[in-house]
Amino acid sequence: MKPILAALGDNDYVKMESTGFMDLHINRLYTPVNGAIRISLAHNYLQNGDNMADPDMEIRIYPELEMAEAMTFQQDGGIPIYQTVYRWDNGMKFVNNKLKKELNNFLNFWLGNIKKQGFFK
């Protein structure tokens, strides 16, 4: 996650380009007191004037631990998908551990792909 944070720097948003691939968008969503950083990492395309996610993930990064966790996954087009690892119900926090593992595995795969595609050296 260091290359992503380095690309973002002090900005709240950065768009990265690599020839032959959809642009990569990084948005800083939130930096709480504990130092964790929430970002959105997304490839997007336009369809009939609408911005479509292909995919878009919300990720929490813990820089001091050099660790990240997937929090949400969104895929538009075809049959749209929206998945969230954490949910609140009556003030109680619930974690979908199976989905958390699946999304973290996908995140690792995707990060490898975007590196191979030349977004990060």
* pLDDT tens digits for range 51-103: 899 999 999 999 989 999 999 999 998 899 999 999 999 999 999 999 999 99
User: What range does the domain containing 23 cover?
Assistant: 2-116
Domain for residue 121, yes or no? no
Domain for residue 15, yes or no? yes
Q: How many domains does the chain have?
A: 1
Q: Given this model, what pLDDT does residue 32 score?
A: 72
Domain for residue 65, yes or no? yes
pLDDT band at 31 (very low <50, low <70, confident <90, very high): confident
Domain for residue 83, yes or no? yes
What is the C-alpha separation between 57 and 47, in angstroms, rounded? 19
